[in-house]
């Protein structure tokens, strides 16, 4: 936290939706506010939007409290699917009173859209997102005015599902899923994340919906800082770290498939509109990029809480980007 | 080589088909015979069947020489697909005179059945094998009496293709592909191999064809010994090492899906018949397994040629097997 929080602004980002899958999870308003204060102290210039971890102890009363305290969303993790998701959901129906309260208080439901792997039913990391989409559709049908965000979509099926739904359903796409396919994480632990990157045709669909300028698709980095020794390991932590250079990555990658003109709407406007954050002032948090080659650092060094020298390997470490900050 | 060659017999194996993808590749008869002599010195009791690396310098005359010298096969690697395959094939038609000679001299064509990834055509490690199958069918059509082995099949599509073809087409299945699915190599470098393990329904097809006792499917371990430091790495070497405990693994895994009764035909008989090796004598190379729990070693230590202490992590390291050698 101490390393990466100050990097948010350096990456060009002024508004961050903070995920609640910590140990322990951020499960109620008080925890979210305490966490927000810690983050805010490390990066006073960033707007932190807080979320709660969807869990059986959440009540409609707690939702009302959270909404009044400015917590913007509740994040749902299917059980066991990603980092610290052991306490996640198995069935959404028990949460319907919570969703009812969220809809009433204008909170957002953020979905990690995968179902747990189940080999007996042919469910694995490759089709876990596609198999989740029926849940997304059902939730939207049952709570038509609840704003829902399908987070870090990775498949053509997800793109098509979101497009087919109403204006209360948005979708984030990460920087790295615009770049990676399955081949890139086969034996390459620094590209391993959840959801995993999929087929070339899936990546093509993610790229195309941005090229099309669809207003309900926007940047969500899902930037996860795991130290090198927990990545280059027999059992690698899931996550790609893009937080330190979000906008140079994004400009470079968007330009590579002819979508540089969508940079501002995808990264800065569509998300703000969906989150009802209001117009940004012309200068607040503004950054300028220039077409100057920039080499991503090989690693970001830090000293951990036990005093050990550690490093995070950022996405595309040692690779050249075609855009950098002016 | 010095570490793993003596382990072949310890794993319960008395006949090994030796792959030619070394650095440099085993490209002609003389190299194959020299390599065989090295292996034979390390494991005098093992029958080594040698292969050549399919390459543009192979001639029908060299094929005749190889066949007369007892080389049994020629292995084809698509360019860039797996370890040391940079020199592999791009188009089979230039090899038709070589295949003609192989057919005449009763040699076997061993196929690494994947085409190179090509994102522009939606080809990636997940569909590279399925997209190869048209080549297998074409080769079988054009050389109907040439014996062809599709090596280390990983997909339902491959199983169905081989079943649909004639008696001159066989297929190997590894120990580890009977156990692993894509989830198992997502972030777990010791399970990363080429071809990658696929969907649960693919694994189910591999298991079912063994349960069915199909006579043209047999064990081929594709056992690849990469040291730990080259596996637990930003860019992991592809391969799973099963050589040290082949039969205990296989008995344990076959039993897990109700196919223990196929152990002998799958591991010992179908392959010998396809390779025309003749009946094994009742006792030569015979091993006996017993249902006694056995824990796979965490690692196999060795000192490399530069004097460094290294280790290979065997498949299912530290896990319990239900079968061991008597």
Q: Do A187 and B190 touch (CB under 8 A)?
A: no
Q: What is the mean pLDDT of chain A?
A: 95
Tell me how many domains chain B contains: 1
Residue of A nearest to B122 (CA): A200
Q: Do A192 and B200 touch (CB under 8 A)?
A: no
H or E segment and range at residue B39: helix B29-42
Query: In this structure, is residue A166 part of a structural domain?
Result: yes
- The ipTM, to two decimals, is 0.94
Q: What is the pLDDT of residue B87?
A: 67
Q: What is the pLDDT of residue A242?
A: 97
Q: Are A114 and A136 in contact (CB under 8 A)?
A: no
Neighbours of B129 (CB within 10 A): 27
Q: What is the pLDDT of residue B307?
A: 95
Q: Do B190 and A234 touch (CB under 8 A)?
A: yes
- Percentage of chain B surpassing pLDDT 90? 92
Q: Write the pLDDT tens digit of every residue in B194-230.
A: 999 999 999 999 999 999 999 999 999 999 999 999 9
Q: What is the pLDDT of residue B96?
A: 96
Q: What is the pLDDT of residue A78?
A: 86
Q: Do A190 and B234 touch (CB under 8 A)?
A: yes
- From the number of C-beta atoms within 10 Å of its C-beta (0-12, 13-18, 19+), residue B154 rates as buried
- Mean pLDDT is lowest, of A74-83, A97-106, A155-164, A301-310, for A74-83
Please name the residue ranges forming H helices in chain A.
5-10, 29-42, 60-68, 96-104, 133-142, 156-164, 182-185, 200-211, 228-231, 246-256, 263-264, 270-274
Query: In this structure, is residue B322 part of a structural domain?
Result: no
Residue given tokens 């570490």 in the structure block? B3
Query: In this structure, is residue A309 part of a structural domain?
Result: no
Residue of A nearest to B117 (CA): A183
Query: In this structure, is residue A156 part of a structural domain?
Result: yes
Q: Do B199 and A124 touch (CB under 8 A)?
A: yes
Residue of B nearest to A317 (CA): B234
Asked if residue A266 has pLDDT above 90, the reply is yes
Of B119, B183, B203, Cβ closest to residue A181: B119
Regions of chain B with pLDDT less than 70? 84-90, 282-283
Query: In this structure, is residue B45 part of a structural domain?
Result: yes
Q: Write the pLDDT tens digit of every residue in A219-233.
A: 999 999 999 999 999
Query: In this structure, is residue B257 part of a structural domain?
Result: yes
Domain of B108, CATH number, reads 3.20.20.140
Band (A237; pLDDT cuts 50, 70, 90): very high
Query: In this structure, is residue B2 part of a structural domain?
Result: no
Q: What is the 3-state secondary structure (H, E, C) of A137-157?
A: HHHHHHCCCCEEEEECCCCHH
Chain A residues with beta carbon closer than 8 angstroms to that of B192: 186-187
Asked if residue A152 has pLDDT above 90, the reply is yes
Query: In this structure, is residue A144 part of a structural domain?
Result: yes
pTM of the model: 0.96
Euclidean distance between CA atoms B128 and B130, whole angstroms: 6
What mean pLDDT is predicted for residues A56-67?
Answer: 97
Euclidean distance between CA atoms B277 and B288, whole angstroms: 22
Token pair in block for residue A116: 């747990």
183-222 in chain A: CB under 8 A from chain B: 183, 185-190, 192, 196, 199-201, 203-204
Residue given tokens 């071809």 in the structure block? B195
Q: Are A269 and A262 in contact (CB under 8 A)?
A: no
B303: contact with A, CB 8 A cutoff? no
Asked if residue A282 has pLDDT above 70, the reply is no
Q: Write the pLDDT tens digit of every residue in B50-75.
A: 999 999 999 999 999 999 999 999 99
Note down the domain range covering B110.
11-279
Euclidean distance between CA atoms B225 and B102, whole angstroms: 30
CA-based nearest distance B8→chain A, Å = 25
């Amino acid at each position: 936290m101490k390393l990466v929080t100050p990097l948010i602004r350096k990456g060009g980002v002024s508004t961050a939706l903070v995920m609640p899958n910590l140990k322990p999870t951020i499960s109620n308003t008080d925890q979210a506010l305490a966490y927000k204060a810690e983050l805010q102290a490390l990066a006073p210039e960033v707007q932190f939007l807080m979320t709660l971890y969807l869990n059986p102890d959440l009540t409609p009363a707690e939702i009302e409290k959270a909404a009044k305290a400015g917590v913007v969303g509740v994040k749902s993790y299917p059980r066991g699917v990603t980092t610290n998701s052991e306490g996640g959901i198995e069935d959404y129906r028990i949460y319907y009173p919570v969703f009812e309260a969220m809809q009433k208080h204008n909170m957002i439901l953020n979905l990690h859209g995968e179902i747990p792997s189940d080999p007996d039913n042919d469910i694995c990391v490759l089709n876990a997102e596609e198999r989740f989409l029926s849940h997304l559709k059902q939730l939207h049908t049952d709570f038509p005015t609840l704003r829902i965000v399908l987070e870090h979509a990775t498949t053509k099926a997800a793109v098509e599902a979101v497009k087919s739904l109403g204006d209360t359903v948005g979708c984030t796409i990460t920087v790295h899923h615009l770049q990676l396919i399955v081949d890139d994480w086969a034996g390459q632990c620094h590209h391993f994340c959840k959801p995993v990157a999929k087929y070339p045709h899936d990546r093509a669909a993610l790229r195309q919906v941005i090229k099309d300028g669809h207003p309900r698709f926007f940047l969500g980095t899902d930037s996860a800082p795991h130290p090198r020794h927990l990545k280059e390991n027999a059992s690698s932590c899931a996550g790609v770290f893009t937080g330190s250079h979000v906008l140079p990555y994004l400009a470079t990658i968007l330009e590579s498939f002819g979508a540089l003109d969508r940079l501002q709407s995808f990264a800065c406007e569509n998300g703000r509109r969906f989150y009802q954050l209001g117009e940004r002032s012309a200068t607040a948090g503004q950054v300028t990029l220039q077409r100057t080659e920039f080499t991503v650092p090989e690693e970001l060094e830090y000293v951990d809480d036990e005093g050990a020298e550690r490093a995070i390997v950022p996405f595309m470490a040692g690779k050249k980007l075609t855009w950098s900050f002016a």
